[in-house]
Copies of this chain bind each other. A is one copy, B any other.
Amino acid sequence: MEKIEIMSDKMKGLDYFFYPKSVAVIGASEEENKIGHVILKNMIKAGFKGKLIPVNPHEKKILGLKCIKSVKEIKVDLAVIAVPAKIVPKIITECGQAKVKAAIIVSAGFNEIGNVKITKELFQAMQEFPEMRVLGPNCLGVLHVKKGIDTLFLPRERLGRTPDGRISFASQSGAIGSTLIDWASMKSYGINKFISFGNALDVTVTDLLEYLNKDKETKVICLYMEGLEEGRKFLEKAKKVSKQTPIVVLKGGVTTQGKKAAVSHTGSIAGEARVVKAAFKQANMIEATSFEKLFNYARVLSNEPLTKGKRVQIITDGGGYAVLAADFTIKNGLELAKMNEKNLRKIRQVVPPHAELGSIIDLTGDATTKMYKTAIETALKDKNIDMILLIVLFPPPLLEKEVVYEIIKLHKKQVKPMIVVSASGKYTEKQKAIMEKEFVPTFTFPKSAAESLKALYDYSLFRKKIKR
């Protein structure tokens, strides 16, 4: 099923969050600790190519950019609002009057801390301009590296930014969303669009699902959710989207004021979690039970073709890791592939005599790039094999660095799912980063690799089922 591209006007409005031609930062400041300063700086560092305008009635220039006194002086696509909560309604009215297309309210201090009065005021101001889409309040906004959009108010020295990729990630919690971005950046995991949607007074997670499903750059949608606010509406949308774009979801704890106090010795959250789990499943979403799994599943689902079956060929240069991988493959309900005898003989010709070629292809600690190349090429052609789990330990000195580029080249063919397990340290992490940037999913230990192949297999089965 191909992605459908008919978008309502309301949906099209979301484009301005990710592809604006001009951005105003309202509340920009020369003071380094101020949120408005950090956002402006990050937009500059992100390399935004459009017009970038600081808005501050008391300054002439900020960070070398000419300042305006009010957003009303100018026509902009996107306004990022970083002013105290109490004047946000007024600013939103100004944005509406200035025909701003989209606004991100990063300011906090609304319903999330029980401030009903100011939240109502804000909501009323928003109602006056229904065409202007609003993200937040109490959010970090958007990171879209490809277009140089970075409204996260956390300094780049302290919080890394991800390379471009095929996963888009929407998070209810700004703190968790951004620390996951930081973690993913350290791992060189690519993210296309990151959205911290906060209190969701206008743009909801349901809207984002619909938008990202239609977004051609998004191959997988990742969600971090604490509550299930729009309940039924969200689940219905998710059920539809899942048929075209895999949704990987992680359910967090509940952080709103009221519920937080409810966290107690009784573990009442666990009960709620069971209900949510069942709902996710019914909507055909893929539930991740840890932060690592969220991105593990998403990386495999976004970068690998769907699999035709569950037979996994393990190719390795370390016996111990391979047997663990075999163990986890079986534990996850997948099978070990049995390579055709003729093909095994082909590999036999290039490997050392003591290499074992059984249900595992063990190239031994003497493995070279050539051996890996032959084994992978053969496995890609073998009809008894559905997926390849490649184990590459880099410390043995005989293994040339070139193996990384050979794997990338073979992976690009996208004949079958192929992922890499590679423990462990700094040298290895560098090799893995090179592969990640070229969209080869890498893992440190066999367990998570096998689990991720299982997620891919399950989703492939689901897609096959709905096709019938």
What is A's interface to B at a CB cutoff of 8 Å?
Answer: 33, 38, 113, 154-155, 157-160, 173, 175-176, 178-180, 182-183, 185-186, 226, 252-255, 257, 260-261, 263-265, 267, 269-270, 273, 290-292, 318-324, 326-327, 330-331, 335-336, 354, 356, 358-360, 362, 365, 393-398, 423-429, 444-445, 447
Contact = CB atoms under 8 A, between A and B. Distances in A.
Given A255-B323, A265-B335, A426 B186 contact: yes
A320 B226 contact: yes
Contacts of A318: 175-176, 179
B175 A393 contact: yes
Contacts of A360: 260, 263
A320 B252 contact: yes
Given A326-B253, A331-B270, A175 B359 contact: no
Given A226-B320, A397-B155, A179 B424 contact: yes
A332 to B, nearest CB: 10
B427 A159 contact: yes
B359 A263 contact: yes
B323 A424 contact: no
A425 B160 contact: yes
A336 B262 CA distance: 12
A431 to B, nearest CB: 10
A429 B186 CA distance: 9
Contacts of A424: 179-180, 182-183, 186
Contact of A425 (B185, B255, B327, B365): B185
A263 B326 contact: yes
A176 B394 CA distance: 12
A175 B395 CA distance: 9
Contact of A182 (B270, B356, B395): B395
A35 to B, nearest CB: 9
A324 to B, nearest CB: 5
Nearest to A155: B397
List the 6 closest A-B pairs by CB distance, nearest first: A253-B323, A182-B425, A183-B424, A267-B330, A173-B320, A179-B423
Contacts of A159: 395, 425, 427
Contact of A186 (B320, B336, B354, B425): B425
A260 B395 contact: no
A322 B254 CA distance: 10
9 contacts: A158-B397, A158-B427, A179-B395, A180-B424, A182-B423, A183-B444, A185-B425, A253-B323, A267-B331
A93 B95 CA distance: 88
B291 A445 contact: yes
A149 B185 CA distance: 36
Given A175-B320, A323-B252, A359-B263, A291 B155 contact: no
A86 to B, nearest CB: 15
A373 B335 CA distance: 53
A253 to B, nearest CB: 3
B113 A354 contact: yes
A157 to B, nearest CB: 6
Contact of A183 (B326, B362, B423): B423
Contacts of A179: 318, 321, 393, 395, 423-425, 428
**Residue among A318, A330, A395 with most chain B CB within 10 A:** A395
A39 to B, nearest CB: 12
Nearest to A424: B183
Contacts of A273: 327
A321 B175 contact: yes
Contacts of A185: 425-426
Nearest to A263: B326
Given A320-B226, A429-B186, A447-B290, A158 B394 contact: yes
A115 to B, nearest CB: 10
A292 B429 CA distance: 16
Contacts of A330: 265, 267, 269-270
Contact of A38 (B38, B261, B397, B445): B397
Contacts of A267: 327, 330-331
